[in-house]
């Protein structure tokens, strides 16, 4: 069994205070507790406050599980009924053979013959009934299975929508929770590497102030597209906060993560965002952390966040690697 390291409460407290000050919120006990809990559970406080979205997501996950169980069960039932139908049709043939054999041997004993014939007829009738029921049920179950398959596809689509950031289409924190747990488990099971990169755009407020919020939005979409261009299929891009992104990189160590960050930086330099023919350069501060043995996802993300915080405060535009 895998044991997990507890998250350092001092570290969480420091990040909670930082988040409060970034959002210009007073460090009241209520605000502090909300952000502290949000960081510990890696959930965005904004999302946690949205009770409807939370409930919808939970129902969706349950429905998703239930539908997938139902799909499995109906598939098994269809298989069982098909096999049962085949067996019954076999026994019908056998009964008919037996009837014929008996007829040929007992032609002289008329009462016995009549009794046996009516019994056999009854058996044939009832078996026929069962056979036709099985045929109908099989057809019904097949259409139920098809309907369930469609519901599954709809649910998967809705779930994807709920787990996506509306502006950029990157995964949001809710979706990230799911993926993080899965990837950490997978890395630990296979003893493989897993890296987290956190990057925060530098002086993004200036872009909003100079060019307007809508242009700021376009820059965030631009950065998302640049990141997608340098990532592998199996990598995960998350919009972690306003102008803060996270990359989850399976099968990747610190050096691989550094390579990805360098590529992103090069691509961002070569492909600047253009606004009214004016180049808007985007720089970012980056923290990298690689999964340690028996570490949990929250601790991994907190170390990357801490490294990014150091990069930001050592002059911006830098990369720091967590110990
Ligand atoms: N356009 C736009 N701006 C956003 C969005 N989310 C957050 N922001 C802005 O991002 C800015 C973040 O400002 P700060 O936290 O001061 O960070 P910064 O200006 O990037 O400075 P440093 O991180 O310290 O380098 C704020 O102006 C937010 O309003 C968004 O979805 N769209």
Please give the distance, rounded to the nearest whole angstrom, from the Cα atom of residue 21 to the centre of ligand 1: 13
Residue whose CA lies nearest to ligand 1 atom number 26: 205
Higher pLDDT, 222 or 57: 222
What secondary structure, in 3-state letters, does 217-240 show?
A: HHHHHHHHHHHHHHCCCCCEEEEC
pLDDT for 322: 96
268, two tokens? 């961002």
Q: Given this model, what pLDDT does residue 118 score?
A: 65
pLDDT at 91: 67
Q: Which of 32-36, 47-51, 150-154 has the lowest mean pLDDT?
A: 47-51
pLDDT of residue 284: 96
Spell out the domains of the chain, with CATH numbers in brackets. Answer: 66-162 (1.20.5), 172-321 (3.30.70.270)
209 lines ligand 1 (CB under 6 A): no
Half-sphere exposure of 79 (CA within 13 A, CB side): 6
Chain-centre distance for alpha carbon 292: 23
Q: Check residue 4 and give its pLDDT.
A: 42
Q: In the chain, pLDDT over 70 holds for what percent of residues?
A: 77
pLDDT (average), residues 108-131: 65
pLDDT tens, position by position, 51-65: 666 666 766 776 777
Q: Is the CB of 242 under 6 A from ligand 1?
A: yes
Q: What is the rounded distance in angstroms from the CA atom of residue 286 to the CA atom of residue 201?
A: 9
Q: 114 CA distance to ligand 1 centroid (A)?
A: 94
- CB-ligand 1 contact for 46 (6 Å cutoff): no
Q: Which of 319, 258, 249, 234 is nearest to 291 (CA)?
A: 249
Q: Is 313 in the pocket of ligand 1 (CB under 6 A)?
A: no
- How many other C-beta atoms are found inside a 10 Å radius of the C-beta of residue 289? 27
User: How confident is the model over 256-314, as pLDDT tens digits?
Assistant: 999 999 999 999 999 999 999 999 999 999 999 999 998 999 999 999 999 999 999 99
Does the C-beta of 205 come closer than 6 Å to ligand 1?
yes
Choosing from 202, 214, 222, 242 the residue with most ligand 1 atoms within 8 A of its CB, the one to mutate for a pocket test is 242
* Structural tokens at position 322: 């967590």
> Which residue is closest in CA terms to ligand 1's atom 4?
242
Q: Which of 19, 166, 205, 281 to mutate to test the pocket of ligand 1 (most atoms within 8 A of CB)?
A: 205
Looking at residue 48, what is its pLDDT?
46
Q: Name the pTM for this structure.
A: 0.67
């Amino acid at each position: 069994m895998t044991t997990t390291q507890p998250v350092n409460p001092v570290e969480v407290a420091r990040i909670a205070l930082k988040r409060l000050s970034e959002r210009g919120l007073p460090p009241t006990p209520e605000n502090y507790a909300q952000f502290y809990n949000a960081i510990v559970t890696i959930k965005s406080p904004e999302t946690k406050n949205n009770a409807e979205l939370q409930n919808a997501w939970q129902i969706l996950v349950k429905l998703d599980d239930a539908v997938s169980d139902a799909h499995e069960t109906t598939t098994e039932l269809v298989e069982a009924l098909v096999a049962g139908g085949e067996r019954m049709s076999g026994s019908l043939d056998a009964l008919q053979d037996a009837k014929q054999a008996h007829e040929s041997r007992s032609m002289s004993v008329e009462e016995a013959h009549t009794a046996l014939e009516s019994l056999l007829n009854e058996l044939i009738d009832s078996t026929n009934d069962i056979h036709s029921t099985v045929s109908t049920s099989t057809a019904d179950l097949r259409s139920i299975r098809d309907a369930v398959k469609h519901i599954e596809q709809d649910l998967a689509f809705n779930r994807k929508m709920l787990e996506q950031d509306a502006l950029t289409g990157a995964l949001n924190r809710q979706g990230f929770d799911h993926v993080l747990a899965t990837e950490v488990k997978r890395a630990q099971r296979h003893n493989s590497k897993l890296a987290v990169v956190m990057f925060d755009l530098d002086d993004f407020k200036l872009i909003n102030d100079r060019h307007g919020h809508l242009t700021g939005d376009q820059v965030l979409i631009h950065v998302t597209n640049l990141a997608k261009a340098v990532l592998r299929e199996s990598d995960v891009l998350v919009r972690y906060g306003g102008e803060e992104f996270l990359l989850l990189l399976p099968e990747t160590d610190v050096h691989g993560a550094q390579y990805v960050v360098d590529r992103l930086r090069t691509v961002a330099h070569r492909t600047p965002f253009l606004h009214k023919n004016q180049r808007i350069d985007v720089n970012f501060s980056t923290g990298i952390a690689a999964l340690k043995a028996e570490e949990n996802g929250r601790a991994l993300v907190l170390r990357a966040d801490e490294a990014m915080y150091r990069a930001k405060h050592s002059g911006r535009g830098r990369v720091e690697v967590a110990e």
